[in-house]
Chain A
Amino acid sequence: MDLWYKEQHTKDVQFSIRVEKQLFTARSEFQRIDVFYSEEFGRFMSLDGLMMVTEKDEFIYHEMIVHVPMAVNPAIQNVLVVGGGDGGAVRELVRYDGIQKIDLVEIDQMVVDTCRKYLPQTACKLDDPRVSIFYENGLRFVRSCENKYDLIIVDSTDPFGPGEGLFTKEFYGNCYHALTKDGILVNQHETPYYQDYARSMQLAHQRIQTFFPICKVYQFHMPTYPSGHWLFGFASKTYDPIEHLDAERWNALGLKTRYYNTELHRGCFALPNYVKDLLEGNDGQ
């Protein structure tokens, strides 16, 4: 018997993984949650039929969303993670002794519960004493925060479905307000390659630019996401991600990573021309 997980990356492009078995399926108040096991990718979780995290490549995503801002400002103490219910970003954050407090705001408790049970590889540090989990709408949580966090990580789903509010102007404005004067915002920034995603990417960039003086985008390679070419946004009030990279200090921490290093840090902000074009508001053709 052949069992395949299939996902439409566009209406004409399909991505599939042969599945050994399905480990879990349920519908939460917000979305459908599935966990599968595959020979190639290990365990993986999809939300509403879209790939979120696999055991084989999640390290790329989570290292890049955490270590880039942490290497720019290793003095970060208070961190907010919006989304990220799989716990992967938190796992990377707790490796920093300097971090005192991590608030994780995930709208869907069933995602966290599912990951604790089926994906301990990412969820393993959710019980760290510095971590507080809030099962709330991220937009609502951030609205009432002021001058509170040194770093906000937006580890969201795509902007169609429960994650929609995390790509809006009101959310970025609220984040600006919630950050300290040296605050950094890193956000899941979609892919430039396929048109629908590229449009979300452009809008997110435009909206973030209206609030933050420094607004850059960096790229990484994510094999199980549409096109494999994925972006994060880096926005901040004072720190430039390259100029203020404190490579020596970060390397002195001695953190062992599989994807991130400080040379890659400099390189990942160098973007292909069509991506630069898109970010400048052109059509990238």
Chain B
Amino acid sequence: MNNRKLDQKRAPIYEALKDYKAKRVVSFDVPGHKQGRGNPDLTDFLGQQCMSVDVNSMKPLDNLCHPVGVICEAEEIAADAFGAQHVFFMVNGTSSAVQAMVMSVCKAGEKLIMPRNVHRSAINALIVSGAIPVYADPGVNQSLGIPLGMSLEDVKRAIAAHPEAKAVLVNNPTYYGVCANLAEIVRAAHAAGMKVLVDEAHGTHFYFGEHTPLCAMAAGADMAAVSMHKTGGSLTQSSFLLCGKGVNPGYVRQVINLTQTTSGSYLLLSSLDISRRNLALGGREIFRKVTEFAEYARGEINHIGGLYAFSKELLNGDSFYDFDVTKLSVHTRDIGLAGIEVYDILRDDYGIQIEFGDISNILAIISVGDRSLELERLISALSEIKRLYARDPAGMFDHEYIEPEIVLTPQEAFFSPKRSMPIGNSEGEICAEFVMCYPPGIPILAPGERITREILNYIVYAKEKGCFLTGTEDLTIQNINVVETKEHGFMV
């Protein structure tokens, strides 16, 4: 690298924080803990080093809302690392990055083509912006019970049916590691004058590893939300929003500033800066190791029998166009256990916490921080669980994706007059809030959707198996808010 400005060895925010510390500046500004002195218990817990760089925006440290100094420099270096035109450092989670993408391209009443198996943050963006979703069927692998990516034909159909739509949103990959044919989706969308937004919450490594599925920027997508904290090693809640050529970054910044904090945490910012440096310099080797771990674990788990750690053998050239091999997704239904049951046993009996368990699968995240010792524990625990708990799988639920009937837009439903009723009696009503298992946080019901018997059965089953259901105003998930239709004369 001759261009010092874009030297990946640099980490401008981190460097500025070190300078700031070395200058021993006397602070009469916020935060009031003043390098930790004002809160000894917290300082004892988190460490002096950590507290001393929990500082406020100031000229030498730049300002996240209006970056012209070190944050701007860090953004440019990150953009170079990701092959993006512009990168934003996000401190309100990837959720806020997804919302900023949607709100940057869709105004109230405008349409967005998306798969239904998006994270709740995408539908939240629709509630805030008033944009209207057009759902393309993500397709389902029936035997695994997992939703896939969208098929190219389904996307093209949706584009033809809704030529006025502003953008197409794509998961790359899904939580389970499934990728759609992103390059062709981008081509089809651009041909129709639509933008392409990519939720890459689980795809950070696509930018740094070898032989990974195609990343959004390389596919020519317009924006992508990348969860650096998920597999890239930065602190929880820190994230990147990437912009391609066809996007005006100045406008995107204004959209971000509508909802993002004005007190951006320097702990989060420096963690993004340092993690980007780490991945840019060593990412190839790191993800080679991660891939090796995942492939090894898959082989060992498939050797146990009964458990199926799936991978590229399931590729179908379309809705399962590519697979992220670092995702260790394991199908558990054939040993008679719901994924969520395995997830609970692993934690309660073996002290092993995995990312999530759903009705039929579990997902273990393997990342930059893993070692083979822990991996052996996971594999051995799974072999024990099979030996001790396997039972006849008859009578187990065998599908995950339920096609929704959309009655109102998410925003209309969310802000409608509503009433609370017992969830079991709500068949036929229009849902006014979310119901989902968390994780993965993909809504079973989103605001504006018809509640059907099939969905209620699914909720009852998920609850029975021990899924952690969330989203409703009633924290006990006994009652659900439905749209008040009679008195207020809503057309249904």
Which residues of A come within 8 Å of B, CB atoms?
137, 139-140, 142-144, 162, 164-165, 168-171, 173-174, 177
Contacts and interface: CB of A to CB of B under 8 A. Distances in A.
Nearest to B382: A170
A171 B303 CA distance: 18
A114 B167 CA distance: 64
Q: How large is the interface on B (under 10, 10 to 19, 20 to 34, 35 or more residues)?
A: 10 to 19
Given A168-B350, A170-B350, A170-B381, A139 B388 contact: no
B18 interface: no
Nearest to A136: B376
B372 interface: yes
Contacts of A173: 380, 384, 387-388
Contacts, number: 47
Contacts of A165: 373, 376-377, 380
B41 interface: no
B383 A139 contact: no
Given A168-B350, A168-B351, A169-B349, A174 B373 contact: no
Interface of B: 300, 303, 349-351, 372-373, 376-377, 379-381, 383-384, 387-388
A177 B387 contact: yes
A139 B350 CA distance: 14
Closest 3 CB pairs of A and B: A170-B380, A170-B381, A173-B384
A107 to B, nearest CB: 9
Contact of A170 (B300, B303, B372, B377): B377
A162 B373 CA distance: 7
A140 B376 contact: yes
B372 A137 contact: yes
- Give the dominant DSSP class at B's interface: helix
B305 to A, nearest CB: 12
Contacts of A137: 372-373, 376
23 contacts: A139-B377, A140-B300, A140-B376, A140-B380, A142-B380, A143-B300, A143-B379, A143-B380, A165-B376, A165-B377, A168-B380, A168-B381, A169-B350, A169-B381, A170-B377, A170-B380, A170-B381, A170-B383, A171-B380, A173-B387, A173-B388, A174-B383, A177-B387
Contacts of A162: 373
Contacts of A170: 350, 377, 380-381, 383-384
A142 B379 CA distance: 12
B345 to A, nearest CB: 10
A61 to B, nearest CB: 24
A206 B372 CA distance: 26
A139 B387 contact: no
Given A164-B373, A168-B350, A170-B350, A140 B387 contact: no
A32 to B, nearest CB: 16
Contacts of B376: 137, 139-140, 165
Nearest to B381: A170
B384 A174 contact: yes
A120 B300 CA distance: 37
A173 B388 CA distance: 9
A174 B351 CA distance: 16
A162 B380 CA distance: 16
- A137, A140, A170, A171 — which one has the most chain B CB atoms within 10 A of its CB? A170
Given A143-B380, A170-B380, 11 more contacts: A137-B376, A139-B376, A139-B380, A140-B300, A140-B379, A143-B300, A143-B383, A169-B351, A173-B387, A173-B388, A177-B387
